[in-house]
């Protein structure tokens, strides 16, 4: 199997890249010339990398007429200082739709697997990530139209956590404070619930879907990726403190909830389970595994 992967330098994309290579898939990746490749340095010699800011996307398909699958994980969350709304629109709508157009032009069965998020569920509109959420929703609606011509699969991922995530993300930022035994960690009430899924389980879900791809007939399909159960953020953070052996005080209710805060989200995993996929890590097991990874990283940095 030959795969074109976007977002390979990111948190999820890098984990997928490593798994694809372990599965003996042939992988080409799309990145920018200035992308930070620290997560995939060991894998770069085993892939064909294209710098999309220095070439036409069509060249990638001209040089690789035998792609079986495109896995799209790249995204612009709009968090970086100075990020414009237009750049979020380009990265989250124009870029993936340009790829879909090129897939259509190949006139052969190439599956398009899109990475989506629970933030874009129709019942939610999370103001904290408004530009990201809006553009991801628009992209998905367009991909449903493209599904009339190509096979499209949407992977709607719940709150994924695991090693090598950005330090400013929710789980690693809280974990590092707890490991440092800061006097107190200010938090919201923590009553809102999330389906926290460990990175390895997300990766295995993608592999399960890829292994069960049918002949490339046009159409749209979706898989919700999570444990299938939500847990209160308060309980999740308390378990983080236990695993970290921290003495930090947890100040629940110190911070206000964001506008449009999502009260509860969990995946319906029945479609994945029909493929034989099962979640391996509950949140306690996942946090214990993550704790070991943090300790290894601290030792290597010492």
pLDDT tens, residue by residue, 54-86: 999 999 999 999 999 999 999 999 888 888 999
Catalytic residue among 77, 132, 146, 206: 132
Angle at 208 between CA 58 and CA 121, to 5 degrees: 75
Where are the extended beta strands (E) located within the chain? 2-6, 26-31, 48-51, 69-72, 111-117, 151-157, 159-161, 184-186, 193-194, 196-198, 219-225, 231-232, 249-251
Q: Does pLDDT of 31 surpass 70?
A: yes
Q: 206 is written with which tokens? A: 């993608």
Provide mean pLDDT across the span 284-292. 94
User: Each residue of 126-139: pLDDT tens digit?
Assistant: 666 788 999 999 99
Percent of the chain with pLDDT over 70: 96
Domains of the chain: 2-166+196-227+263-280 (3.40.50.720)
Confidence (pLDDT) at 4:
98
pTM of the model: 0.95
What is the token pair recorded at 73?
């994980």
- The pLDDT of residue 101 is 97
Q: pLDDT at position 128, please?
A: 67
Structure token digits, residue 103:
């897939």
Query: For residue 289, what is the enclosing H or E element?
Result: helix 283-301
Q: What residues does 6 pair with on adjacent strands?
A: 30, 72
Q: Is 146 a catalytic residue?
A: no
Strand partners, 115: 155
Query: Each residue of 217-259: pLDDT tens digit?
Result: 899 999 999 999 999 999 999 999 999 999 999 999 999 988 8
Structure tokens at 296: 């290894």
Q: Is the pLDDT of residue 302 over 70?
A: no
> pLDDT > 90: what percent of the chain?
84
Tell me what pLDDT residue 126 has.
Answer: 61
Average pLDDT, the chain: 94
Q: What is the pLDDT of residues 171-228, one digit of tens each?
A: 999 999 999 999 999 999 999 999 999 999 999 999 999 999 987 789 999 999 999 9
What confidence tier does 300 reach under pLDDT thresholds 50, 70, 90? low
């Amino acid at each position: 199997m030959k795969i074109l992967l976007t977002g390979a330098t990111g948190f999820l994309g890098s984990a997928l890249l490593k798994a694809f290579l372990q599965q003996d898939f042939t992988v080409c990746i799309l990145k920018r010339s200035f992308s930070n490749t620290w997560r995939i340095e060991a894998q770069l010699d085993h892939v064909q990398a294209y710098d999309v800011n220095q070439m036409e996307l069509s060249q990638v398909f001209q040089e690789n007429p035998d792609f079986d699958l495109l896995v799209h994980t790249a995204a612009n969350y709009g968090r970086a200082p100075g990020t414009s709304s237009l750049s979020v629109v380009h990265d989250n709508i124009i870029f993936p739709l340009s790829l879909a157009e090129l897939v259509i032009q190949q006139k052969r069965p190439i599956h398009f697997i899109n990475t989506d998020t629970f933030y874009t569920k129709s019942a939610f509109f999370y103001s904290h990530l408004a530009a990201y959420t809006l553009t991801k929703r628009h992209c998905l609606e367009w991909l449903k139209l493209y599904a009339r011509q190509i096979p499209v699969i949407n992977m709607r991922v719940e709150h994924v956590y695991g090693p090598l995530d950005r330090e400013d993300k929710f789980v690693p930022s809280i974990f590092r404070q707890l490991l440092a035994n800061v006097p107190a960690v200010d938090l919201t009430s923590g009553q809102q619930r999330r389906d926290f899924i460990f990175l390895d389980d997300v990766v295995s879900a993608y592999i399960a879907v890829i292994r069960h791809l049918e002949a490339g007939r046009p159409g749209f399909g979706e898989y919700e990726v999570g444990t299938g159960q939500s847990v209160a953020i308060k309980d999740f953070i308390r378990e983080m403190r236990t695993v970290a052996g921290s003495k930090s005080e947890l100040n629940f209710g110190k911070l206000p909830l964001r506008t449009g805060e999502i009260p509860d989200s969990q995946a319906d995993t029945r479609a994945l389970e029909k493929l034989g996929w099962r979640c391996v890590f509950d949140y306690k097991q996942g946090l214990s595994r993550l704790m070991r990874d943090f300790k290894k990283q601290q030792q290597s940095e010492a």
